[in-house]
């Protein structure tokens, strides 16, 4: 997971125009700073998707479409949860897309930080698969941006990524105990066993929520996918989440929070 968190105090009004996914040059004004490292740009309900010169346009557009599908999951032309979208806009949330991991490492992140842009989510074109030949990382990275910057701030006592929230209590049950740092070995009863020691408690919350949501939506249940993720996540289907992790299932299916109820398919058709 590649994200940068920041809290802005200014409030923004939402103008939810249906995105046309047209790739433009990076706009002037406050986004001008991105011109130093990006040449492509798409606006999705006010959330920006930036791409480097070598990022394939079809992959950049695909990421923007998945973002729209997550935000407007019922595809009625309006974001489902305005409260969450407001948090994304308040923080100038954005996707930063490079052609590969090496190019991401070459970005000068201080340029964004110094200009006040701290709420970015990185993604590589090499892990982006619009054709569905392998698992598409867009389903993960875009959702990270929405939950980490949107839900965690719109509902801090529920989706906040810190001990004491509803999400944190679910995380502790899923890992078999409360661990501020990744343990050397998880309890045998744990079903979420992410072992990246650079992933702190907040990061673990983000990752866990991703696994739960996408498993309920059907993204993880193919046989080869189950095998790939078994070292990290055991509840690969909706039924497994419902029966073995009922607390997180109840949370993410609660209509109050308007989380996605269907998996994005890369085809946004607003009615």
Cα gap 126→136, rounded to integer Å: 10
pLDDT digits (tens, 9 = 90+) for 150-172: 999 999 999 999 999 999 999 99
pLDDT band at 17 (very low <50, low <70, confident <90, very high): confident
Q: Which residue has better confidence, 109 or 157?
A: 157
Backbone angles phi, psi at 95, to 5 degrees: -100, 135
Confidence (pLDDT) at 1: 53
Question: Residue 112 contacts by C-beta under 8 Å, 6 or more apart in sequence?
Answer: 4, 33, 34, 118, 120
Question: Is the pLDDT assigned to residue 63 strictly greater than 50?
Answer: yes
Answer whether residue 15 shows pLDDT above 70: no
Q: Look at residue 132 and tell me whether its pLDDT is greater than 60.
A: yes
pLDDT at residue 8 greater than cutoff 80: no
Class of the CATH-defined domain 29-151: alpha beta
pLDDT score recorded for residue 5: 40
Quote the pTM value.
0.93
Question: Predicted confidence band at 14 (pLDDT cuts at 50, 70, 90)?
Answer: very low
**Beta bridge pairs of residue 270:** none
**pLDDT band for position 173 (cuts 50, 70, 90):** very high
Q: What's the chain's Rg over C-alpha atoms? A: 18
Token pair of 185 as six digits: 């070995």
- Does pLDDT of 202 surpass 90? yes
Residue 90 has pLDDT above 70, yes or no: yes
pLDDT value, residue 3: 45
Per-residue confidence (pLDDT) for residue 69, from 0 to 100: 98
Window from 14-18, 67-71, 169-173, 252-256 with minimum mean pLDDT: 14-18
Residue 201 has pLDDT above 90, yes or no: yes
Domains in the chain: boundaries: 29-151, 157-257
pLDDT above 90: residue 133: no
> Could you give the percent of the chain with pLDDT greater than 70?
94
């Amino acid at each position: 997971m590649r994200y940068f968190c920041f809290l802005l105090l200014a409030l923004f009004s939402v103008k939810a125009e249906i995105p046309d996914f047209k790739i433009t040059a990076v706009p002037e004004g406050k986004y001008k700073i991105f011109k130093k490292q990006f040449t492509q740009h798409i606006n999705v309900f006010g959330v920006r998707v930036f791409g480097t010169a070598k990022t394939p346009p079809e992959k950049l557009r695909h990421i923007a479409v998945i973002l729209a599908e997550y935000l407007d999951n019922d595809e009625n032309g309006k974001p489902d949860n305005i409260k969450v979208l407001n948090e994304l806009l308040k923080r100038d949330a954005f996707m930063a897309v490079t052609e590969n991991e090496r190019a991401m490492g070459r970005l000068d992140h201080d340029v964004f930080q110094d200009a006040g842009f701290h709420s970015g989510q990185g993604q590589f074109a090499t892990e982006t698969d619009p054709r569905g030949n392998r698992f598409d990382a867009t389903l993960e990275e875009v959702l990270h941006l929405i939950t980490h910057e949107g839900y965690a701030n719109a509902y801090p006592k529920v989706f906040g990524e810190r001990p004491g929230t509803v999400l944190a209590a679910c995380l502790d049950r899923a890992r078999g105990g409360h661990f501020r740092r990744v343990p050397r070995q998880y309890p045998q009863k744990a079903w979420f066993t992410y072992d990246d020691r650079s992933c702190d408690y907040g990061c673990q919350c983000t990752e866990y929520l991703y696994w739960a949501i996408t498993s309920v939506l059907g993204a993880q249940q193919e046989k080869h996918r189950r095998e790939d993720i078994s070292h990290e996540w055991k509840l690969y289907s909706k039924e497994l989440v419902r029966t073995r992790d009922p607390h997180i299932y109840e949370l993410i299916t609660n209509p109050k929070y308007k989380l996605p109820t269907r998996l994005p398919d890369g085809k946004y058709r607003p009615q």
